[in-house]
Every structure is written in C-alpha cells, then in structure tokens.
Structure 1
Amino acid sequence: MTKPVVAIVGRPNVGKSTIFNRIAGERIAIVEDVEGVTRDRIYAEAEWLGKSFSVIDTGGITMDDAPLMTQIRFQAEIAMDEADVIIFLTSVNEGITDADEQIANILFKSGKPIVLAVNKVDNPEKRSDIYEFYSLGLGDPYPISGSHGLGLGDLLDEVFKHFPENNGEEYDDSVIKFSLIGRPNVGKSSIVNAMVGEERVIVSNVAGTTRDAIDTTFVNPEGREYVIIDTAGIRKRGKVYENTEKYSVLRAFTAIERSDVVLVVLNAEEGIREQDKRVAGYAHEAGKGIVLLVNKWDVIEKETNTMREFEKTVRKEFAYLHYAPILFVSAETKQRLSQIPDLVEQVSMNQNLRIQSSLLNDVIMDAVAMNPTPTDNGKRLRIYYATQVAVKPPTFVIFVNDPELMHFSYARYLENRIRETFTFEGTTIRLIPRKRK
C-alpha cells in the first residue's frame, strides 16, 4: 500500500518546519540512540485518525546559491511533482506578500489539490485578519497556530478529503519488490541493466540522467518473480534538480516506501559520503530489509585484506546497520550480481519470519539468566513474557513491570540474543517494552 504524500509549501519564516514537526508528531525525533542516523529531516511518516500518510517539508530543500524566488519556485515544483495534496502555508502577521502571490500562481497551475493555511493565528483577535487570504483564489483559508498546535485537526480533515481514492499497490503479495538507492552516479542503473540483461534504463556517467523511477520486472530461473523499483530518477518532466542532493534523497523515499528490501548502493571508488548514510538511515527507520552493495569493486586495486578493510570501514560508518549483509559487486564485469536475487529473497523471508512464543520466551529467559536485568534507583526490571506481534519488520512486545527500566543497552543485548538464535540477517527487529496489566 503506497501512502498518500502531503507537501508543505510557503515562503521563508511562515513556520513550515514547525507545522511539519507538529503534523509528524513525535515520529520526527529519531528514537534510536545510534550514531550515524541523520537528524536532518525533510520527510516523515505521520498519522491522523488512524490513517497513515507521508509529509514533506519543502523548506528543508534548498538551492543554496540561487536567489530567493528561484528557491521558492524550485520547492513549489518539487511539491507539485511529489505530493498528492499541497498545504500552502502563509502567515497572518505579514498578510499577503508578493512571494505569496507568486507561489499561489505556481500552485494554481499545478492542478493538484491545494489547502490554504494561515499560520500564527495565536489568539481570537487575529481570526478576522484571515479574510484577505480569500483573494489568493485558493478557497477557504484555515487559521492555525504552529506554536500552540491550534487548528491543525480542521486542516488535516480538509487535507484528507483530497487524498486519492485508490493508493493500492499494483503487484501481487508473492512478488518481492526491491529498490536500489544511493547517491547519483554510484551505478544503480548499470546494476539493474546488468542484472536484467537488457538496456531497460538509460545509463550515462553524468549524475542524474535517469528520467524517472522505472519498475523492472524479471523472473529468476526458479520462477520467482521480482520487481526492481529503480530510484535513480533525479529529474522529472525535464526539470533539472541535480543541484541539490536532498532532492535525490527525497526521490528515494517513495521507492523505500514501496519496497520490501532496499539495496543501498555505495561507490567503492569514492568511499562513503554523508548522503549515503542519510538515505540508508531512512530505509532503516522504515523497517525495511537492507543489503549494502559496494559497486565498482572491479576498479579497486586489491591487496590481501582489501575487502576485509573496506568492510570494517562500512561497519564503522553504518554502525546501526550491523544486521545488513554486505556484497561487493561490479556492474561492469557482472561480478557477484547473480547473488543479488537470492540474497534479496533471503532477506525478504527474514522480514516475514514468525517465532513461536514458547521458543522466544526460552531465548529471553536464557538471556536474563546469563545477564540479569538492570536496576534503576533500587528498582529492578522484571520481564514476564514476550510475544511477536508483527512482521515486516519482525516486532516483539516484551511485557515488563516498568517500561522505563528497559534501558537501551539491555534492549540491544536482548536483540542480539534473538539474532544469534534465529536468522534475522538483513532486517531490523523491533522490541517494544509494555507494562503488564
């Protein structure tokens, strides 16, 4: 199921990031205390009245050297490309500005549903000031206050009215969907072409030449069907977006959302960059299966321990992906590419693995016997029972006397014991401490 996407657009200083954080709620804070997961957010998962959707903060996507209006136009165009519904955010304090009128004109031509929000209506006296915003021609303005959280419910109710009716996935559940994500020019398209054996994707060594995300279906010799969601699309409808790497990251999110397994492609020649970590961090947070592919391995001069040393570097830089297998490949020579489908299938199986409660509890109790639960202010954590409540990713609820006593390090210890006993290579597993009623 593909989630609807909402983008927040507006000129600077109208409070886009505040509204973004409000809508995304606590999800915006990365809950894992793990080094290397980026905190620079332009995209988040959100929920309203039990329904999930994705939200984009276009204020986080900038062309640093461009004039202000060019930047604003650029952000509005990204919103029009990526979103199902656009929240156009203005501010009651300044009234309608020239920039607001220009953005309204751009958005009006998009044909996308636009919901007009007037921010900073912090008290009842300001409500009468919203009527001038009718002149933008975008329908009813919704008064809100990001700093106080006022009016967001009415705004989201209106947004929800415009979500597309059918957001379902077009593939059968038995089909494994995987995507290749990574910086421009790491060789994603070349890997797809080499795997599929035909030129299905335009390949060029200029970063960002793939025109759009392209789904490629192929069947392995055993008859297993796969869909490759190629995320190399850095340009859309002829617009050139390569000058901001954040946009290429944003394009990957939609594909991550649709994938069962995500292949994070690294460039062996260039080493690991910050953007690699950012994209991988989102796949990790989304709970997807993950494989790290080190491409262009054919051009690296080898010595006895070259691969082992590179693997050490990858493990250090991606400490939070300790569970992800690493495969060294070459799209040019097709080295080890034949191993990818089997690895993807194995990771997908691990994502769907269910553990019997009796076996799970044996492992947990053995772990507690080997390393007793911690105490805090004289109070000891007691673990009563554990059960698996979900797959994709495998999620376990552990019933305890007080969830606050489940320290991060002890949860990690339990996770490691579970991983040692059952095969969870390539997938996150989630442990949720819950107070026993």
Structure 2
Amino acid sequence: MTTESPTLVALIGRPNVGKSTLFNRMTRRRDAIVDPTPGVTRDRHYARITWEEHPFVLVDTGGIDDEDDTITGHIREQASRAIDEADLVLFLMDGRQGLTPSDAEIVDMLRRTEKKVFFVVNKIDSPELELELLSPFWELGVDKLWPLSADHGYGYRSLMDGLVEYLEKTEVSLDLPEDTIKLAFLGRPNVGKSSMINRIIGEERMVVSDIAGTTRDAVDTLLSRDKYNYLLIDTAGIRRKGKTRDKLEKFSILKALGSLARCDIALVLIDAEEGITEQDTKIIGYTQEQGRAIILLINKWDLIKDDLKRQKWLMQEIELATNFIPFAPVLKVSAKTGYGVKRLFPEIGKVYRQFHARFPTAALNQLLADAVAHHSPPMYRGRRLKLYYTAQIKTAPPTFAVVANAPKGIHFSYQRYLTNRFREGLGLDRIPVRVVFKERSRKGQKKK
C-alpha cells in the first residue's frame, strides 16, 4: 500500500542552454504561496507545478553547473543522476550554438534509459529558424525533437501538451482509510527516521542501518492505533549542500519534498548528540514553504540524558535556530530506548485537530474588530488603512483572508500582529497560521 508522489521532471543540459529560462516560464503557472517567514529557504531550483490539472514537481539542475567546467564529466554525472531519480527528463540543447559532442554523449546515455525523455532544442523562436537550426540535431537519431524558445514561448504549448500525456491527472491515494493522519519523517541521513518508525510500530518492518542513506525513496507504513489510522512516511535523508557533487543530492531532496507535500504533519528529527545544524533549519524551512504542521523530535536523547549542561545548551541552540517556528512542539525522544515516544501520539492529535480546524465567520470578524480596536492599521499614502471583514478560506493550515481597502499598503509587521491575534484568539498555538489580504471588489466600477 502506497500513496503516489507527483511526477518528478528534471531539466538537464549544458550550462547556458536555457534551463533556468524554461524553469521560470513553467513556474509562472504554479499555484504557490510565497511565505514571508524569516528563515525559510529561498532556494528556488524546484517547484510544484500544475498544467491542465496535471501536477508535477520540476527541478532545474542549472544550480549545479560550474562556469569553469571545460570537460563533460560533471555534466555526465548530472545527467546520470537525473536518469536515475527523475520520472521524466527534459534534455535541453542550444539551437543557436548547434550540436556539440557533449550533447551527443548525453543523448547516448539517455537512449539507454527506459525513462521518457524529451529532446528539446532551445533558442528557436520562429518557423523559419526551426527549419534552419533544427536540421543538425536530427543527426542524433532520436524519434522526435521539440523546437522551443524558452524566452519567447515559441513551441512551449506543444511541449507542455506533450508532457501532459505522461503525467497523472491527480495525485493518487490508494486504499487509505478515511481521515488517515499522514506523517512524514524528515531529517538528515542517519538521524534515526527508520529507527523511530520501527519503535512506533513495534516491529522491524524496515531495514535499519548505520550507513547513511539506507532509505533511498519514501517508504509508507499504515498504522492503526486505538481508533485512529496513521500513514507513516519514511523519507531518504536530506544531505547538506557543499561541494558540487553534494549538490547532485537535489534529486533525493525532491523525493523527500514529494513526501512532504502529501503529509499533514512533518516530524523533523534532530540528532541530540550532533546538535541542530544549518541543514536541519533548511529542512524545517522546506516544511514551512509547503505549509505543513511540524513537530521537532530531538532524537538520541539517551546519549545526553546524564549531561545536564549539554541538555541546556542544546535546547537553547534549538530555540535560537528555530525562532521562525515558535509554535512547533519540541519532544525529547530516543528511538533506541523508547524514551518520550509515548508522548508523541497525544501531541500529533492536538496538532492535527488545529491543522484542520474551521471557525465560524462571525467569530472571526469579532476577532478582527477587537484586533483593529487594540491596534489600528497604519497610514498608507496619506489615508488610513481599513480592514472590512475576514473569512477562513482553507484549512491545513488554517488560512484567513482579510478584505482591505489597500492590501499592498499593509506592512509585514501588521500582518504578523494580526496573525498572532488570530493564533491566540483561536487557540492555534501549535501550527502555522496564514493571514492574507484581498482588495474589496467594487460592483459597478468602470474599468479604465
């Protein structure tokens, strides 16, 4: 029994062939919430996209190209990882520069894979140029070439329509009981994710090893406990970025992000012996980019249980590093001994109920009126900002739209104030809360 993650589509190719340009064109159509939370990662080499109701995850490998690479070895490694990890591959070549030996070598690799590959010739922006520039690329012997101008859009719809044929229309859940609570276990390699799941389910259903990266892809386990059902999603460890070779782990990160997208609560494990690292905070940032509820599990607590000084220092470091998610519960646990694990499910229940909570509009508007009375919105361009009314527009996480006369004039600090008032007034102390602003529609207003 599994649930399927969105199709992973990789953009590969030599430097400067237009991968990032195509990435940017494709991501303009995505339904994304830009999270202003300080500390959230700004790494934008991946995006969740929906085209004609077909969702997929796109990764741009442009971030791993070095300008001083004069040999094909690095590009070959990039292509090899894309072939291994991605479901579909978009291989971009430069129509203006023409066919290169590197292109031919990568095509030879791609020809041997069973994955679907789109061979795209970029920088062709008219039918005339298509006739002129495409002909050398037929020497590659591929069945189909896709002419494209990522910059101007020529050939773009044809490419996307071709891509759609290989995408699932919706993300699928298979045979899950109703109201199953989906939990994704995330963290750096060897932090104890699989061991924690084994401790929870009480049997060795997974291979547990001290070798980092044992769990390559997400593994799902359905657990029934009391009257509730839980889907436990174990993910590949998210490695730190460092050398160019390490950046190739981007694909493994995306596998974990696919699991993150289909969970309710992200359980992020931190190694008590090593302490919280920059990569831990990046993983936490990923959870907030996708609006997930989060519980921090400080694993291997048994290793420092007798060191009070170390415990105090560790908790201070974690509080400092995670100040952008002050709402997140923090539990001290040990997958090895079982310490603290029994407190996990009561906490999961509290977080899940808040994450899916709905509130009556009348109560929300009273809360808004009280907040405005306590602290009025500031002036904007010589006039007072007005907040007319509010309503909840979604759950998971609870998101509230506030209708205002000038939404663009509302400073982040006032948005944060309202968010905190909503959080306190509604008892949402364990989850992320979103407050967005919309302009009041004016009926009968003439369009200029």
Map of 1:118 onto structure 2: 121
Aligned counterpart in structure 1 of residue 92 of structure 2, from 89, 92, 95: 89
CA distance in 2, matches of 1:165, 1:30: 22
TM-score, normalising length: structure 1: 0.89
Aligned counterpart in structure 2 of residue 421 of structure 1, from 419, 422, 425: 425
Map of 1:4 onto structure 2: 7
Map of 2:329 onto structure 1: 325
Map of 1:152 onto structure 2: 156
Map of 1:223 onto structure 2: 227
Map of 2:63 onto structure 1: 60
Judge conservation of contact 2:266–2:294 (CA < 8 Å) in 1.
yes
Mapped pair 1:205 → 2:249: no
Map of 2:352 onto structure 1: 348
Listed as ranges, the matches of 1:14-413 within 5 Å are 14-25=17-28, 31-49=34-52, 51-61=54-64, 69-122=72-125, 126-128=129-131, 129-164=133-168, 167-170=171-174, 171-220=176-225, 222-232=226-236, 245-300=249-304, 307=311, 309-413=313-417
CA distance in 2, matches of 1:274, 1:104: 37
Q: Deviations over 1:60-111 (max 9, x none)?
A: 3579999954433433343334433221111112222222122222222222
Q: Deviations over 1:362-421 (max 9, x none)?
A: 111111111101112212221111011111221211111111112211111111011111
- Name the aligned partner's letter for residue 107 of structure 1: L
CA distance in 2, matches of 1:25, 1:426: 32
Deviates more, 1:147-156 or 1:392-401: 147-156
CA distance in 2, matches of 1:282, 1:321: 12
Deviation at 1:197, TM superposition (A): 1.3
SS of the residue corresponding to residue 127 of structure 1 reads helix
Change (3 A) 1:297 1:149: farther
Judge conservation of contact 2:55–2:168 (CA < 8 Å) in 1.
no
- Name the aligned partner's letter for residue 263 of structure 1: L
Judge conservation of contact 1:115–1:138 (CA < 8 Å) in 2.
no
CA distance in 2, matches of 1:59, 1:28: 22
- Name the aligned partner's letter for residue 435 of structure 2: L
SS of the residue corresponding to residue 321 of structure 1 reads coil
Judge conservation of contact 2:238–2:253 (CA < 8 Å) in 1.
no
| Structure 2 unaligned blocks of 5 or more | 240-244, 442-448
CA distance in 2, matches of 1:28, 1:316: 32
Identity, in percent, stands at 40
Change (3 A) 1:66 1:219: farther
Q: Deviations over 1:35-59 (max 9, x none)?
A: 3222223321123345432111133
- Name the aligned partner's letter for residue 385 of structure 1: Y
CA distance in 2, matches of 1:165, 1:400: 36
Deviation at 1:323, TM superposition (A): 2.0
Q: Deviations over 1:158-204 (max 9, x none)?
A: 21122146741112342111111111111111111111111222222
Change (3 A) 1:66 1:217: farther
CA distance in 2, matches of 1:63, 1:173: 48
CA distance in 2, matches of 1:300, 1:132: 64
- The count of aligned residue pairs is 431
CA distance in 2, matches of 1:316, 1:322: 10
Deviates more, 1:413-422 or 1:427-436: 427-436
Q: Deviations over 1:241-294 (max 9, x none)?
A: 988554442331121122121111111211222221222212111111111111
CA distance in 1, matches of 2:67, 2:219: 29
- Name the aligned partner's letter for residue 138 of structure 2: Y
Change (3 A) 1:354 1:105: same
TM-score, normalising length: structure 2: 0.87
CA distance in 2, matches of 1:316, 1:48: 40
Deviation at 1:153, TM superposition (A): 2.6
- Name the aligned partner's letter for residue 39 of structure 1: R
Judge conservation of contact 2:54–2:169 (CA < 8 Å) in 1.
no
CA distance in 2, matches of 1:49, 1:109: 30
CA distance in 2, matches of 1:194, 1:246: 29
Change (3 A) 1:323 1:216: same
Deviation at 1:124, TM superposition (A): 5.9
Deviates more, 1:126-135 or 1:177-186: 126-135
Judge conservation of contact 1:61–1:247 (CA < 8 Å) in 2.
no
